[in-house]
Amino acid sequence: MKTIVGLKQVPARDSLLRTDASGRWIDESDLAFEVNEPDAYALEAALQLKEKHGGEVVVLTVGPPRAAQSIREALAKGADRAIHIEEENLGRWDTLGIARLMARALETEKPDLILTGLQSDDLGYGQTGVVLAELLGLPHATIIMQVEKLDGAIRVKRELEEGWFESIEIPLPALVTVQSGIAKLRYATLMGIKKAKTKEIRRVPAAELVAAPAAAVEISRVYIPQKAKQTEILTGNAKEAAARLVERLKFGARVL
């Protein structure tokens, strides 16, 4: 079974974010980047399917050259090879544009299964996978907690709201967006890191795949949200702050 894993590189989770000079995106200059966490779970699910059923796991990333670091991490964990669609300025592309790039890059791949994380931790649109499925004419399912391979199909466990689930059978080829927590994430081994250096990363400039399309939606401004609630920040060292909080809870909120 050939599985493609859509993997995005995003700013590290605890980054301090500032807007850039244009006011339309963040200043990326001093940031550290990491693999988008839901995509890490998609990779894990793909690796586990490969261990059980054989085949190949191919990472597909759209991003600037720095994203190669995240691709190498995925290769070190056990992905077989990667396709890196290089684009310096991701902001020029909306979700549909990104999905079109991915669809073009996959034309010659003929995968059985495509896995992506259910959303990115930066933009959080939660739809690149679904749009890609539609462009490729594939059936899909979203927010998946389990993937089981059947003969020519998969059975997936889809999360619904408030603790409900449903089981869905989907013929292959198909696309599935993976929920965080589908399996325990592995670490790369030393051997894996060594092997990754010899694995193929095919680099394709975005402009070679699709002439930049007119975006259907665009971000006009990025800013720090205004507080909805007046929060009283309790200051002092840990002991002082704790004492102030207990006083508020006892006499103000009357919950102690």
Partner 1 sequence: MSILVILEQRAGVWNRMSFETLAAAAEMGRQLGQPVLAAVAGERAAVLAAEAAAYKIDTVFAVEHPLLARYTADAYTTALEQLIRRVNPELVLLPHTYRVRDFAPKLATRFGRVLVSDAIAHRIEDGRPVLVRQLFQGKLNADVRFASAPPNFASIQAGAYRADSLAPGAAAVESFAPDLAAGRIRTQPGEPFRESQRGVDLAAASIIVSVGRGIKEKDNIAVVEQLAQALGAELAASRPICDNGWLPMERQVGSSGQTVAPKLYLAVGISGAIQHLVGMKGSKTIVAINKDENAPIFEVADYGIVGDLFEVVPALVEEIRKAKG
CB burial string 214-232: b at 16+ within 10 A, e below = eeeeeeeeeeeeeeeeeee
How many residues are recorded in the chain? 256
For residue 65, is the peptide bond before it cis, meaning its omega torsion is within 30 degrees of 0?
no
The token pair that represents 246 in the structure block: 């207990």
Nearest residue (CB) to partner 1, 9 versus 82 = 9
Give the distance from CA 149 to its chain's centroid: 23
Degrees, nearest 5: CA angle 132-184-81:
50
User: How far is Cα 25 from Cα 47, in angstroms, rounded to an integer?
Assistant: 34
The least distance separating partner 1 from the CB of residue 9, rounded to whole angstroms, comes to 14
Q: Which stretch binds partner 1 (CB under 8 A): 52-60, 76-84, 92-100, 192-200?
A: 92-100
Site for partner 1 in 4-43 (CB under 8 A): 11, 13-14, 16-17, 19, 26
User: How far is Cα 40 from Cα 52, in angstroms, rounded to an integer?
Assistant: 19
DSSP run (H or E) holding 245:
helix 238-247
| Interaction between residue 108 and partner 1 (CB under 8 A) | no
User: How far is Cα 29 from Cα 20, in angstroms, rounded to an integer?
Assistant: 9
Nearest residue (CB) to partner 1, 60 versus 133 = 133
Q: Which stretch binds partner 1 (CB under 8 A): 106-114, 168-176, 192-200, 203-211?
A: 168-176
Q: Which stretch binds partner 1 (CB under 8 A): 45-53, 68-76, 166-174, 187-195?
A: 166-174
Total residues binding partner 1 (CB under 8 A): 80
Q: Given candidates 107, 110, 151, 184, which one binds partner 1 under the rule CB under 8 A? A: 184
Site for partner 1 in 209-238 (CB under 8 A): 214-225, 227-229, 231-234, 237-238
| Interaction between residue 243 and partner 1 (CB under 8 A) | yes
Q: Which stretch binds partner 1 (CB under 8 A): 74-82, 84-92, 161-169, 191-199?
A: 161-169
- Identify whether the C-beta of residue 80 lies closer than 8 Å to the C-beta of residue 47: no
Q: Given candidates 54, 151, 162, 197, which one binds partner 1 under the rule CB under 8 A? A: 162
The least distance separating partner 1 from the CB of residue 79, rounded to whole angstroms, comes to 21
Nearest residue (CB) to partner 1, 205 versus 236 = 236
The token pair that represents 73 in the structure block: 């991490």
Nearest residue (CB) to partner 1, 80 versus 134 = 134
User: How far is Cα 81 from Cα 4, in angstroms, rounded to an integer?
Assistant: 10
DSSP run (H or E) holding 174:
strand 174-178
Q: Given candidates 32, 160, 190, 211, which one binds partner 1 under the rule CB under 8 A? A: 160
Sequence letter at residue 103: A
Site for partner 1 in 112-151 (CB under 8 A): 118, 121-127, 130-131, 133-135, 139-143
